[in-house]
Structure 1
């Protein structure tokens, strides 16, 4: 919290200094052309966010302990090349405020305030690089080799500052997250680089042909979809209430992992878990409280599994964990860690009367099975884990039961049969 507040305070300080510099600096005031450029970029940014609203909402749900990559940077960096910092910051605030209302939902305002602050700090750092390289007056577009290097250095600075600030927040707020998880995928960061490159192109077009920018929106939206396709495919299989994989996505992933295990002569572990007496939470506090509890459970489970494991919501309060390459001992270790965390989990939830309540522990029953030890097919694996889960619930709940291979059928050997006279 101290880290986040410090970043927010620095962003407010930078904003104050930028406004003061514009009002009382040697070149005080904002030119008419800059107001026009601001209006065009603001309108284009809002249209872009609205057109990509469905994609971005699902991608936000899929984000967990990795940076959430978006293409707002293309409009912000274009503004950095065309406008004073005092107008770039309002554009950042407008983009995130609109996202808060229309894209991400109003329940994550604190996260969007921090994201806004990181954009402000990144923009200020990039503006300092532009000034240090001699690109003082707008437009700060590359017109030669040196100016191109300066603009590229500013873009790299913008990316690095924003990326580092976000990773710092992830690691501090999720101590159990690994550095690999916090850094995210390299392909995601290439999306940001592409967005910054688009920002340079947008700024160049805006300078010479401002009314062509709206026409470029079709190109931007097409690139948005294609650049974020891998992320969108992951997000499309995300349950909206929990952020976990959907049952259909999970069902398509299991056969793939079983086939890979056959090729590598490896194993696949499966955990099926059902939250004990979850119906009481819904009946006592309401379904919104149940949704909050489910999401907290999902986040807890994802924090305890390995990189590459898949956690899915396969029913109302039934979850599944696919553990590629896991042996029975590893499956049991992971299951026990999850069980202990859920027992001690404390979740504040909203109640139907507008108040809040605190759930002290959300225990679960577990059924575990390992392929190919107890099953030859996906259906057999799921059935074995389900049967073990049912046994766990019938045996007192809040425990882990492992499916065992069925003993071979006993058949009579002809030599053992009595001989009739």
Structure 2
């Protein structure tokens, strides 16, 4: 699926089948595909074309299929990484088709590309058919809407001076394609649980999107002026895809596969950097350890797949509830960690208590599909808090202090926040919650 903020990315999760996909996503996918079927059929019936249009369609198809064949190994690696989203170059052909082909021809091009991509790239890499169908339908509908919008504005730009009448349509299509794609994909991503950067993309994602859309404009310009020069776009497309793959490999190496949070090694590196900065500025840094209470019972009662869903849901809640500049990671099992830059004891306790409260508001059925009300139950976490320099200036010291506080919270009945023990009077600096 191409995303709004990342129109060069496609949904490729292999962890979710059509049966287990969220019902809201399935219904939305059917809605997009139905809209495409209706509009595409009318566009084909109303098609008015010339020999030149069919020649450009044929050349675009040769270029697109040639690129798919050359880049299929890269694409398979991206799919097998198991990420929810991965970069692709479909928008290059969508933008070009919107600019140089009659309205009804764009679906023909992208449908052919989708079938070829499924047979040569998606199926061998294990991408579910229903995800591939949604990706293709989204690209086709985005192109149709963009081409239609261009048709409405073409007459309005005809009288612009300094040859702007030829340049403005390209800008219109690039902007319209990005906006329409975002409008179509955002509901699907929300239905799949995407939030924050997973929904809107990073700066790198958006720059890659812009470069890809611009390549589509350059391919269209070449097709109208010197058609065979369009082949020159293949090399930069492969370079963009390789760059995207490197970044995705880096992301895969630094994140926990089950939760999408930073893994222990990456989190420790970030936390150490924050402690070094705090020592240099004579500031404080908070470290908290969060442990899911009685998680073994969840696995025993609902199965390990349900347990994975709970871990992923808890990870998402933790990431959204901490401050914008805090960093959350998974330490292993049902244990999570967070580093809180510039946090005093009071700041760290407030954040930790907010996390505890939000998790305690959750029920298992909120995170696991198909849990019956009679089998439902609340979730809770125990949290240990430590702050530098009071509890140590080294990360290992802070983790040890926070871990000891966590075990005190467990011993006192779980579902509570405890500050590191500082001897006499230390108990005054803790927040307890039952």
TM-score normalised over the length of structure 2 = 0.72
The 2-side partners of 1:290 and 1:14 are apart by 38
Using the alignment, how far apart are the partners of 1:252 and 1:199 within structure 2? 39
Distance 1:187 1:40, change over 3 A: closer
Aligned residue number for residue 293 of structure 1: 310
**1:314 Cα deviation from its structure 2 partner:** 1.1
Corresponding residue for 1:417?
none
- CA, structure 1 residues 265+221, in 2 after alignment: closer, same or farther (shift >3 Å)? farther
Q: 2:409 aligns with which of 392, 411, 414?
A: 392
SS of equivalent to 2:418: strand
Q: Distance in 1 between matches of 2:253 and 2:223?
A: 34
Q: Cα gap change, 1:95/1:268 in structure 2, threshold over 3 Å: closer, same or farther?
A: farther
TM-superposition CA deviations, 1:390-414 (whole Å, max 9, x none)? 222222222211114467xxxxxxx
Does the Cα contact within 8 Å between 2:91 and 2:212 map onto a contact in 1?
A: yes
Q: Confirm whether residue 124 of structure 1 aligns to residue 147 of structure 2.
A: no
Are 1:269 and 2:289 matched, yes or no?
no
Aligned residue number for residue 76 of structure 1: 94
Q: Which residue of 1 aligns with 2:168?
A: 149
Change (3 A) 1:2 1:279: closer
Cα deviation digits, residues 36-89 of structure 1 (max 9, x gap): 53354245347546513444665945x7xxxx8764322322332344444434
- Are residues 212 and 7 of structure 1, via their aligned partners in 2, closer, same or farther at CA, if it must alter by over 3 Å? closer
Structure 1: distance between partners of 2:95 and 2:357: 47
What pairs with 1:196-207 in structure 2 (closer than 5 Å)?
196-204=213-221
Contact 2:262 2:329 (8 Å CA) reproduced = yes
Superposition deviation, residue 302 in structure 1: 1.6
> 2 CA distance for matches of 1:359 and 1:49?
45
Q: Is 1:88 paired with 2:106? A: yes
- The equivalent residue for 2:67 is 44
Partner of 1:18: 40
**Match of 2:332, SS?**
coil
* Superposition TM-score, scaled by structure 1 size: 0.74
Contact 1:302–1:311 (CA<8 Å) still a contact in 2? Answer: yes
Structure 1 residues 199 and 25, CA gap change in structure 2 (3 angstroms): closer
Whether contact under 8 Å (2:96, 2:217) holds in the other structure is: yes
The Cα shift of 1:209 comes to 5.8
Distance in 2 between residues matched to 1:192 and 1:71, nearest whole Å? 9
How much does 1:320 deviate?
Answer: 0.9
Structure 1 residue 315 displacement after superposition: 1.0
Query: Cα gap change, 1:24/1:126 in structure 2, threshold over 3 Å: closer, same or farther?
Result: closer
Alignment of 1:24-63 (within 5 A): 24-27=46-49, 31=54, 34-35=57-58, 37-38=60-61, 40-42=63-65, 44-45=67-68, 48=71, 50-55=73-78, 60-61=83-84
Q: Give the aligned partner of residue 268 of structure 2.
A: 251
Q: Measure, in 2, the Cα distance between the counterparts of 1:195 and 1:403.
A: 51
Any idea what the Cα deviations from partners look like across 1:272-326, whole Å, max 9, x if unmatched?
1122222222233332222112111111212211222222111122111122222
How far apart in 1 are the matches of 2:358 and 2:124? 34
Match of residue 377, structure 1, among 394, 398, 401? 394
1:368 Cα deviation from its structure 2 partner: 1.0
Mark the runs of 5 or more structure 1 residues left unpaired by the alignment.
Answer: 136-143, 408-421
SS in 2 for 1:31: helix
CA shift, 1:367, in A, is 1.0
Whole-angstrom distance in 1 between the partners of 2:303 and 2:347:
36
CA contact 1:58–1:236 (8 Å) conserved in 2: no
Q: Distance in 1 between matches of 2:39 and 2:66?
A: 26
Matched residues in 2 for 1:105 and 1:193: separation? 26
- The secondary structure found in structure 2 opposite 1:314 is strand
CA RMSD of aligned residues (A): 4.2
State how many pairs are aligned: 387
| Structure 1 counterpart of 2:7 | none
Tell me, in whole angstroms, the C-alpha distance in 2 between the residues paired with 1:9 and 1:81.
Answer: 26
Per the alignment, in what secondary structure is the counterpart of residue 146 of structure 1? helix
